[in-house]
Chain A
Amino acid sequence: MSITTEPNKLDLSHLVQGNRVHGSVYTDEALFQLELERIWYRGWVYVGHESEVPNKNDFVMKSIGPQPVIMTRDNGGEIRLLQNRCPHRGNQVCLKEKGNTRAFTCPYHSWTFSNTGDLIGFAFPDGYRDNPDADKKRLGLGVLPRVESYQGFVFGSFAAEGISLAEHLGGAAETLDRLVQTSPDGKIELTAGYLKHRARTNWKFILENECDGYHPAFVHSSIFSVADSAIGTYYGDQSTALTRDYGGGHTEVDLRPEFRKADIPLRWFGTTAERLPAYVEAMNTAYGKEKARQIMIDGTPHVMIFPNLFIAEIQVFVIQPISVNETIQHATAIQFKGAPDLNRRMRQQTMGSVGPAGLLLADDTEMYERNQRGAESLTPAWLFLGRGEQRERRDENGYMVGHSTDEVPSRGIWRHYTQVMEAQS
């Protein structure tokens, strides 16, 4: 998968320096190719959710950066990640977005592969008989060597060896625990389909924006003012909410201090317990009244799992870099098993706010695209990410935290970025 002939040792100190980054990190084509190699085709990358392939032999088309990946659940129930490239002459073995099949047959010369990637058979096999190189065991589909899940989220790695998924997630794993426990049966589903929003921007502007608590007061003031939303106050000067750097490039905006101050269940979702009686009842039954109340006060997380999984309270976004200046965001509403009243609201709010016409995301995307155009200008050459550096501190778990509008997340992302990019394979 290696696509560059750069020397393995990379020094980024001339581009990333603590509280500032050089504009070319968003525009340099060669750097983008190195990112593919060292971040996207080496480390753990989020691919899809187990609920998208609920049954044996289900499959769904996914991606890791520009690479298409087929996520299948094989006949034994195990999840596999395959590449959509026929080992014969490179044709695509799967043309559907999703479906159910035990085998993929290449349309070009009809080689057939199981949903584990193994070559089952050649068409007109006589032409291969007694040819020692026509070894079926060596002519399967590309298979990602490592696949691991956490709380239903499936991650893959193109590298045969490396740190475990648990090591990759580190302390940020707790945010996924927090997400699923907000569902009465402790499980979420991503079954509502994706909005796919294309942006002419480098993927890292999106990565950094996801936990940028400085912009909402300005970029989203239009919708906050007309929709009578309280969200704006969480991102105001007086907010008690926090930004957090979990290490590993994972970052969070932790709104719990605000929700705990208000002490009202479901405030996080802009609604009340009275409006969602079935959900509240199911939560009380599942966790007991007291714990259920605390969970419903705290709400779901706002967390960016490096490099591509963003959980924004009620939505999941997946960041897919296409080229140095083009990125797709895939977005869907989170659904809780067994909470239809809540699910409907989550879909409605998601459709209103995200995607190409979203009342929020169209404006975020406008900003990413302007950032990209700006970064293409020559001067000033550096972007300043020092907001709140003088007031950041360690929380009780040792993670760096700051005010909700501070740039703790960006600095954390760049620290991790430098480490993985400079690391020898």
Chain B
Amino acid sequence: MSAADIDLLHRVTAFIYREAKLQDEHQYDDWEALWTDDGVYWIPANGDDIDPEKEMSIIFDNRSRIALRIRQFHTGKRHAQSPRSRLRRVVSNIEIAESSETGIRAFSNALIFESTVRADTVWSTRNEYFLRPEGETFRMARKNVFLTNNDRALFTLSFLV
């Protein structure tokens, strides 16, 4: 690994850790600010390779729907997050699959512990990021979240994953 590669991996890792922390701590606006203006947030259902233009996904938000989701949290009447889930996630296996001047494709794994009145739930995901460089850091142009159990019936998933 060249010094440049190590530097890039370091910066991507820092970005992904920061995103994880914002999600765990329900920092909705700071999390929303991580997105590019054309960002797409995708969580498929029934497998990882479905076509979201034809089949149901758990989330398939364009940028304006991401904003809508955040505004709904801010009403204080998003009952599924009132009270908020207590969250803590561990992110690892960060790898950069592709990189160029215009964008980076990176992967990570996450295990998320969610505590609610209903129960404690563990979620497992493989995350795929398309990042655009912005100074020393990045913005998300796309985030795909592949839940390990996305082919099964899932309890409510109302926090930011």
Q: Which residues of A contact B (CB under 8 A)?
A: 97, 192-200, 219, 221-223, 225-227, 328, 331-333, 344, 347-348, 350-352, 355-357, 359, 362-363, 365-367, 369, 373
Contact of B110 with A by CB under 8 A: no
Contact of B10 with A by CB under 8 A: no
In the assembled complex, 17 residue pairs joining A and B whose CB atoms fall closer than 8 Å, in A order, are A193-B50, A193-B56, A196-B45, A222-B78, A223-B68, A226-B68, A226-B72, A226-B75, A328-B153, A347-B56, A351-B58, A351-B60, A355-B45, A357-B43, A357-B158, A362-B157, A367-B79
Q: Which residue of B lies closest to A330 (CB)?
A: B153
Which residues from 47 to 63 on chain B have a C-beta closer than 8 Å to any C-beta of chain A? Answer: 50, 53-61
B16, chain A: closest CB distance, angstroms? 21
Contact of B155 among A198, A219, A227 (CB under 8 A): A198
CB-defined contacts of A333 to chain B, threshold 8 Å: 56
Judging by beta carbons under 8 Å apart, are A221 and B75 in contact? yes
Contact of B154 with A by CB under 8 A: yes
Judging by beta carbons under 8 Å apart, are B79 and A363 in contact? yes
Judging by beta carbons under 8 Å apart, are B56 and A362 in contact? no
- Count chain B residues whose beta carbon lies closer than 8 angstroms to a beta carbon of A: 35
Complex CA gap A210/B107 in Å reads 40
Contact of A365 among B60, B80, B151 (CB under 8 A): B80
Complex CA gap A363/B152 in Å reads 20
Contact with A along B130-156 (1 / 0, CB 8 A): 000000000000000000000111111
Judging by beta carbons under 8 Å apart, are A356 and B77 in contact? no
Judging by beta carbons under 8 Å apart, are B118 and A198 in contact? no
Complex CA gap A226/B117 in Å reads 27
Complex CA gap A342/B78 in Å reads 28
Judging by beta carbons under 8 Å apart, are A362 and B80 in contact? yes
Judging by beta carbons under 8 Å apart, are A200 and B153 in contact? no
Of residues B53, B56, B75, which shows the largest number of chain A Cβ atoms within 10 Å of its Cβ? B56
Contact of B71 with A by CB under 8 A: yes
CB-defined contacts of B43 to chain A, threshold 8 Å: 357
Contact of B69 with A by CB under 8 A: yes
CB-defined contacts of B45 to chain A, threshold 8 Å: 193-196, 355
Complex CA gap A365/B154 in Å reads 12
A222 with B56: in contact, given A193-B50, A200-B118, A200-B119 (CB under 8 Å)?
no
Which residues from 80 to 115 on chain B have a C-beta closer than 8 Å to any C-beta of chain A? Answer: 80
A332, chain B: closest CB distance, angstroms? 6
CB-defined contacts of B50 to chain A, threshold 8 Å: 193
Of residues A344, A348, A355, which shows the largest number of chain B Cβ atoms within 10 Å of its Cβ? A355
**Chain A to chain B: the 8 pairs with minimum beta-carbon distance, closest first:** A196-B153, A222-B77, A362-B80, A222-B75, A226-B71, A193-B55, A198-B153, A356-B157
Complex CA gap A198/B151 in Å reads 12
